[in-house]
Amino acid sequence: MLRMRCSHRSILNPQLGLGACALIACLMFGVRPSAAHAQSAAAQSATESMAQSTVTDADMTDLQARGHFRLGRELYGQGRFAEAAKEFEVAYGLSGRGQLLYNVYLAYRDAQDTANAARALRGYLAAVPDASDREHLSARLAVLDATLQQSQAEAASREAAAATAKQEAVQAERQRAASEQRAVEAEKRAQQRPSRPWWPWLVVGGGLAATGTGLVLGSVATSAADKLRGDCVADPRTVGATAPLVRGSSCAPSVNLSSRRSSIKTEAALGDAMWIGGSVIAVVGLVLVFALPDQYPDLERSPVTASCSARDCTASLHLTF
């Protein structure tokens, strides 16, 4: 078995040395690299790497910033990209070196945090206007922004779909609850005997009472009119209460014809109004007796409701036709 050992001590990009070594081995021994390895090599050549950073330990004049920078590199090498990005950001905040934002961008990119990667790269391009690969990084920033916008649009679409699904679920639950309530009410109706509304008979009774009162007033007015006619005499020369009670066109002086006639007319008009109005009310009550549907005491609310407060009392009548 023939073995080949490769070493590459380049500080800029050790991964590039490993790729070159693998390529030489393939050419010498006719070994075809796997598809995964080929894709990895292509990705390394097409994307940025941490070795391209221009920041070194010597650039970190602040000891605390240098400590965070070293810790960030160690975490990045361990694949803990999100933690490395935070350490790089702390180092940038302490030192103020814009080149550190490139490290922040790479760490967030490898952590699949598109929003923070775009933010860091945008800050790097603003802080380092003379970056050698500015055109390439600007294109990379445009791709990140487009990806971020697409992700935001997809998230908004998912949220809208989730809200619609939730609303539909709530509506379906309401319909289900209403259907169950109707089924319960129908079951109660089937188990109970209906009853006729009783309150229309009160209307009939009130109408009959008014009719009777009107008839009584009419009878009183008729009797008063007959008495007035009886108090009138035929001979106007007779005076006093001793005048003969003979019907005629003249009345005795002691008879107040105008007052008694006005009182009789008032009683007659009131009697007519009461018996006519009472008759109408009684007829309406009878119509309600036969027109209103049956009631189920446990399901129907009372047609007459009343309530009182500190100021007044109110009552209401609910009718269903």
Is 115 a domain residue?
no
Mean pLDDT along residues 15-27: 39
pLDDT band at 53 (very low <50, low <70, confident <90, very high): low
Mean pLDDT along residues 92-113: 92
Tokens matching residue 159? 């949220």
Model confidence at 314: pLDDT above 60: yes
286 against 190, higher pLDDT: 286
Of the chain, the percentage scoring pLDDT greater than 70 comes to 63
Count CB-CB contacts under 10 A for residue 166.
Answer: 10
| Among the listed residues 269, 125, 56, 295, the one whose alpha carbon sits nearest the alpha carbon of residue 196 | 295
pLDDT at 310: 61
3-class DSSP assignment, residue 268: helix
Mean pLDDT along residues 190-205: 80
60 against 206, higher pLDDT: 206
Is 249 a domain residue?
yes
Which of the listed ranges 32-46, 91-105, 250-264 does the model predict with the highest average pLDDT? 91-105
Which residue range is the domain that position 31 belongs to?
14-46
pLDDT at 25: 39
H or E element: which one contains 305?
strand 304-308
pLDDT at 227: 76
Burial class (CB in 10 A: 0-12, 13-18, 19+), 300: middle
Is 1 a domain residue?
no
DSSP 61-116: -SHHHHHHHHHHHHHHHTT-HHHHHHHHHHHHHHH--TTHHHHHHHHHHHTT-HHH
Overall domain count for the chain: 2
Model confidence at 238: pLDDT above 70: no
Beta pairing, strands 232-233 & 250-251: antiparallel
Is 78 a domain residue?
no
Is 260 a domain residue?
yes
Is 251 a domain residue?
yes
The length of the chain is 321
Is 215 a domain residue?
yes
Is 56 a domain residue?
no
Which of the listed ranges 5-14, 138-147, 186-195 does the model predict with the highest average pLDDT? 138-147
pLDDT at 36: 41
273 against 304, higher pLDDT: 273
Whole-number Å distance between alpha carbons of 181 and 140? 61
Model confidence over 158-175: pLDDT tens digits?
A: 999 999 999 999 999 999
pLDDT band at 8 (very low <50, low <70, confident <90, very high): very low
Whole-number Å distance between alpha carbons of 69 and 111? 18
Residue 320 region, left (φ>0) first, then alpha (ψ -120 to 50), else beta? beta
134-148, 202-216, 223-237: the lowest-pLDDT one: 223-237
Model confidence at 15: pLDDT above 50: no
3-class DSSP assignment, residue 317: strand
Model confidence at 284: pLDDT above 80: yes
246 against 262, higher pLDDT: 262
Count CB-CB contacts under 10 A for residue 239.
Answer: 12
21-30, 45-54, 219-228, 300-309: the lowest-pLDDT one: 21-30
Place of tokens 């949220």: 159
Mean pLDDT, the chain, as a whole number?
75
Model confidence at 320: pLDDT above 80: no
Count CB-CB contacts under 10 A for residue 272.
Answer: 15
pLDDT at 289: 83
> H helices then E strands: how many in the chain?
9, 4
Q: Say which residues have a Cβ less than 8 Å from residue 208's Cβ, sequence separation at least 6.
A: 278, 282
Model confidence at 99: pLDDT above 60: yes
Place of tokens 């002691």: 254
32 against 48, higher pLDDT: 48
